[in-house]
Amino acid sequence: MSELEISQRPAPQKWSKKEVLGHLCDSAINNLQRFIKIQYEEEPFVLTPYNQVEWVKIQGYQELRIDEILDLWVSLNKKIINVIKNIPNEKLGLQCNIGSNELMTLQWLIQDYLEHMEHHITKQILTSFSGFPNTH
């Protein structure tokens, strides 16, 4: 993809493909912490939400080179893979509160992270430019 294609925003309040990849970096940062903390914090571990739009804006992904964002995404996900590989099977059933007192397991949280990443990559980054919103 050209720098123009990955940097183009379909509208002022929508993310470019670079910003979507940046959002996936932010998701990795937050979920890496969750995958670690849920293993030793009191159960159920309460997920702390984060303002996705502000994270993308404050980190300035739109102004960064795509290779910087991609390097960060790869590095974070390598770390996540390492953490997931080292989770003992008996900890996969640990409970976390995902909001509104809805309890899910660590295994569900990991699967949700992967589905979230796949959604953004296949539906927004690798497809032709179609104008996607700045949230999921």
107 contacts: CB under 8 Å, gap ≥ 6: 92, 93
Q: What is the pLDDT of residues 81-134, one digit of tens each?
A: 999 999 999 999 999 999 999 999 999 999 999 999 999 999 999 986 444 455
Domain covering 13-125, topology: Four Helix Bundle (Hemerythrin (Met), subunit A) (1.20.120)
Domain boundaries along the sequence of the chain: 13-125
Phi-psi region of 101 (alpha: psi -120 to 50; beta: other; left: phi over 0): left
Is the model's pLDDT at 41 over the cut of 80? yes
What mean pLDDT is reported for the chain? 93
Q: What pLDDT is recorded for position 12?
A: 87
Angle between helices 17-37 and 52-59 (to 10 degrees): 120
How many Cα atoms occupy the beta-carbon half-sphere of 2 within 13 Å?
A: 4
Residue 52 DSSP label: H
Quick check: bond before 44 cis, omega within 30? yes
Q: What pLDDT is recorded for position 128?
A: 65
Of the pLDDT bands very low, low, confident and very high (cuts 50, 70, 90), residue 5 is: very high
> Can you point out the beta strands (E) in the chain?
45-46, 95-97, 103-105
C-beta of residue 71 within 8 angstroms of C-beta of residue 22: no
